[in-house]
Chains A and B, each alone.
Chain A
């Protein structure tokens, strides 16, 4: 024990053995409700998009350089790995976009009751799926 507050975290289990009490919230025993999964996904997608800005930066720098450099960047984005990264980036962006709008409604004090929570949560998932497919179908058709 490094901290006196730790004393509250020590208890005995049914066999009388000293154990450390589990922390709340008990993430490992919860059935994951949709809002919990989406909340963590909002963070994960945000961090992923942060990494994705490197790709945006590279593309803009390449566009500001020569034809040669730009062609190389375009070639990479069109390669299997490039397309996979772009796909992940687009799904993260679309998800973060819809989930972010859901957050903005909460900030305005709307949609806090449980049924609305679940409905808007699934709406975000469905909108992300539909829009991701749509973006790629149209994108590949233009390409």
Chain B
């Protein structure tokens, strides 16, 4: 073992390899935020180009644009990834700055609930147009 970098701790090698921690969630939050970030790189680029393309467009043109499956699918992906990423990020911001437990958990619940509702409103609107 000498020469190999290692950390002494009261934890079995299996526990360390699993890395789940006491809440059994481990790196899931961190990983989900990175995964949505990577997904949002192409989706955001696509969205910016689309918005430029649609600037000043009539209602008919917007409906026409959203009616294509090639628009509808990335739009749904964008909505899901955006609100998931947002909710994960705001949770960390609250955890960092709100230390009073009476406000911390309710604020996290509130932003998570709002994110879900807004995401659903967006999804329903988009599907109403596109389907």
A61 and B59 CA atoms in complex are apart in Å by: 12
CB distance from A95 to the nearest CB of B (A): 12
CB distance from B116 to the nearest CB of A (A): 12
User: B34-50, CB under 8 A of A: which get 1 and which 0?
Assistant: 10011011001000100
A87 is an interface residue with CB less than 8 A from chain B: no
Chain B residue total in the interface (Cβ 8 A)? 31
Interface of A is mostly: helix
B52 touches A139 (CB 8 A): yes
B118 is an interface residue with CB less than 8 A from chain A: yes
Contact of A135 among B48, B59, B122 (CB under 8 A): B48
A23 is an interface residue with CB less than 8 A from chain B: no
B34 touches A47 (CB 8 A): no
A138 and B73 CA atoms in complex are apart in Å by: 26
Contact of B126 among A46, A47, A54, A60 (CB under 8 A): A60
Chain B residues lying within 8 Å of A117, measured Cβ to Cβ, are none
B80 is an interface residue with CB less than 8 A from chain A: no
21 A–B contacts from the bound complex (CB under 8 Å):
A46-B89, A46-B93, A49-B86, A54-B118, A57-B122, A61-B122, A61-B125, A63-B59, A63-B62, A63-B129, A64-B129, A70-B62, A93-B44, A97-B41, A100-B41, A103-B37, A104-B38, A138-B52, A139-B52, A139-B55, A142-B56
